[in-house]
Amino acid sequence: MLLLARCLIAAALVFASAPFAWSQPWPVKSIRLVVNFPAGGTTDQMARAFAPRLSETLGQPIVIENRGGAGGNIGLEIATRAAPDGYTLLASSGSPICVGPHLYKLNFDVARDLVPIVPLARILTVLVVRPGLPVRSVAELIAPARTRAGAGAPASGRASSSKKLTRTLMSGRSFSSGSRMRTSTLSVPFWRLIWG
């Protein structure tokens, strides 16, 4: 878990190239910031909040390029194939960088092809229930899942997400009450959770 936490923090913003020669003036032109998720999501919002400050500091425009798809792997590959000149940066959540390589056969090596710069944000996963549900603890939440089949099947958007990893870890974890969550996890498209 400590390795995952370190990886998530280090992966918030990474260079898309190997170290380049600092003897040349930099930057002398606009910088491309690849966001490996579609516009409007959390990663995109963080990049758009960060870009103006980075642009002001560096004195060059920051051009955001959303390249979502394949759980973030399309944008990752685009960034790793960019020229190693420091003019392509990548804003990514930790999931595609930390979890993706263990799930998918990729055409690049995250550890070799990306160099971390700075974490942009720390985003926590929180377990919540609707107000009318008479649940005040995790043990009370999982009790129906232990007694009725299908009563507690959590779902998420993609297999490589940190939420899926959290649920998978939770499904076998013992809680302080001595209860164990005995449910399977299910990945379904996010829109199905919202619109049925």
The pLDDT tens digits of the residues spanning 12-45 come to 334 444 344 456 789 999 999 999 999 998 899 9
**Cα separations in angstroms, 152 against 46, 179, 193:** 32, 14, 14
Residue 133 lies in a domain: no
Beta carbons within 10 angstroms of residue 175's beta carbon:
14
Q: Residue 71: which residues within 8 A CB-CB, separation 6 or more?
A: 95, 96, 100, 104, 158, 159, 160, 161
First to last CA, the chain: 33
Q: Quick check: 76 and 108 in contact, CB under 8 A?
A: yes
- Give the tokens for residue 67: 């390249």
**What percent of the chain has pLDDT above 70?**
62
- Give the tokens for residue 131: 């107000």
**φ, ψ for residue 3 (rounded to 5)?**
-60, -45
Looking at 82, 116, 150, which one is the last position of a domain?
A: 116
Q: Which residue reads 């930099």 in tokens?
A: 26
pLDDT tens track for 81-93: 999 899 999 999 8
C-alpha angle 102/107/112, rounded to 5°? 75
| 110 lies in the same domain as 159 | no
- pLDDT band for position 107 (50/70/90)? very high
pLDDT computed for residue 92 by the predictor = 94
**φ, ψ for residue 116 (rounded to 5)?**
-70, 145
Number of domains in the chain: 2
Residue 147 lies in a domain: yes
Arithmetic mean of pLDDT over the chain: 74
Rounded CA gap, 143 and 43, in Å? 35
| 76 lies in the same domain as 166 | no
CATH code for position 75: 3.40.190.150
- pLDDT band for position 73 (50/70/90)? very high
pTM equals: 0.64
pLDDT tens track for 126-178: 777 788 888 888 788 777 766 766 555 555 555 556 666 666 665 554 444 44
| 89 lies in the same domain as 147 | no
| 43 lies in the same domain as 93 | yes
Domain that holds residue 43: 2-116
Q: Quick check: 56 and 31 in contact, CB under 8 A?
A: no
